[in-house]
């Protein structure tokens, strides 16, 4: 089963259609619950990440990406789910990573704000 088949893509209702790049909150929760092999990448600032984050996420702020992108090289062929506060920064980074040769990358729709609204999902404070 391919990464795209494992992760359903939500329908977008916004002006910018990111459906090709997005994955649902429920799908990410399922991947975590079933211990799937994927990288969860938080592209928010270090300060945002320290306030709250999804357990086991790697922090690589979008603002530092140009100087730290080498840290992702070992994950090039792994599925990657990127998240930020609302899903805007992560969509940008997901598109960039895909164009840079990362074939299995998605942005978590709604970001950590949507994650925190879901009952039963936790973030670290």
Q: Identify the active-site residue in 23, 28, 54, 84.
A: 84
Question: According to the model, what pLDDT value does residue 121 have?
Answer: 77
Would residue 84 show up in a list of annotated catalytic residues for this protein?
yes
Q: Residue 100: inside a domain, yes or no? A: yes
Nearby residues of 18 by Cβ (< 8 Å), 6 or more positions away: 12, 87, 91, 107, 109
Does residue 78 sit within a domain? yes
* Residue 17, C-beta contacts closer than 8 angstroms, at least 6 positions apart: none
Contact assessment for residue 41 and residue 80, using Cβ atoms and an 8 Å cutoff: yes
**38-81 pLDDT, tens digit each:** 999 999 999 999 999 998 999 999 999 999 999 999 999 999 99
**Residue at 7 is within a domain:** no
Answer yes or no: is 83 within a domain: yes
Residue 47 belongs to some domain of the structure: yes
State the pTM of this model: 0.82
How many domains is the chain partitioned into structurally? 1
Domain assignment present for 110:
yes
pLDDT in tens, 2-35: 454 555 444 444 455 556 679 999 999 999 999 9
77-107: pLDDT as tens digits: 999 999 999 999 999 999 999 999 999 999 9
- Per the domain annotation, does 123 fall within a domain? no
The answer to whether residue 3 sits within a structural domain is no
CATH number at residue 109: 3.40.250.10
Q: What range defines the domain where residue 78 resides?
A: 18-117
Rounded to 5 degrees, what are φ and ψ at 85?
-75, -50
């Amino acid at each position: 089963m391919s990464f795209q088949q494992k992760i359903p893509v939500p329908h977008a209702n916004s002006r910018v259609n990111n459906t090709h790049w997005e994955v649902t909150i429920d799908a990410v929760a399922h991947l975590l619950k079933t211990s799937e092999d994927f990288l969860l990448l938080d592209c928010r600032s270090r300060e945002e990440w320290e306030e709250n984050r999804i357990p086991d996420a790697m922090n690589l702020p979008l603002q530092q990406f140009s100087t730290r992108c080498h840290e992702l090289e070992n994950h090039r062929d792994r599925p990657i789910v990127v998240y930020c506060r609302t899903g805007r920064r992560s969509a940008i980074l997901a598109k960039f990573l895909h164009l840079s040769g990362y074939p299995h990358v998605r942005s978590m729709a709604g970001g950590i704000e949507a994650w925190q609204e879901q009952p039963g999902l936790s973030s670290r404070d």
